[in-house]
Amino acid sequence: MRILGIDPGTRITGYGVIDVEGNRLLHVDNGIVSTRSSDPLANRLKTIYDGLQQVIETYQPVEMSIEQVFLAKNPRSALTLGHARGTAMLAGVNAELPVSEYSALQVKSAVVGYGHAGKHQVQQMVKALLNLPEIAQEDAADALAVAICHANSRTLNQAIVQSGRR
């Protein structure tokens, strides 16, 4: 199963694509969609949408996961970040992908085992879990972490459902 993870942002939106084969997590690709801060917000959102649409078309994921907004430095930042999240979610929904949301605490717990882990710890664990030759760029590593969290959550949820059926 192929999962697309998204770390939304209006300046840089990270994406990470992984395959789940049994208990194995395999890295497919990761990267960023970047915008120019001098462009109007509507144009930046279009760039994010178009970039993610291209990623979806190229890699054909079957599910998408995205990080929830947890806080921002000020209300305006939170609002613009919300626009980026909505745009990313729209790209997924328009491609008929189920979209799951995870808090930063859930992502860090799933990847590092500690919900208050630092960025560098997350990057190191993503590198180790996916057997990457080097640490991915910060936003891309965060997106891969969201995809890993979703893969782990799916496995756990399936186990819970199966144990309830017995």
pLDDT at 164: 57
116-146 pLDDT, tens digit per residue, is: 888 889 999 999 999 999 989 999 999 999 9
Calculate mean pLDDT across residues 59-77. 84
Say how many C-beta atoms besides its own lie within 10 A of residue 143's C-beta.
31
Instruction: Tell me if 77 sits within 8 A of 41, measured CB to CB.
Output: no
- Put simply, whether the predicted model's pTM sits higher than 0.75 gets the answer yes
pLDDT at 157: 54
Which residue's entry shows tokens 């990470």? 16
Q: In whole angstroms, what is the distance from residue 20 CA to residue 144 CA?
A: 12
7-55 pLDDT, tens digit per residue, is: 999 999 999 999 999 889 999 999 999 999 999 999 999 999 999 999 9
Calculate mean pLDDT across residues 158-162. 50
Domains in the chain, CATH or no CATH each: 2-165 (3.30.420.10)
Most distant CA pair in the chain, distance: 58
Instruction: Please state at what angle helix 104-111 crosses helix 138-165, rounded to 10 degrees.
Output: 80
> Catalytic residues, which ones?
7, 67, 139
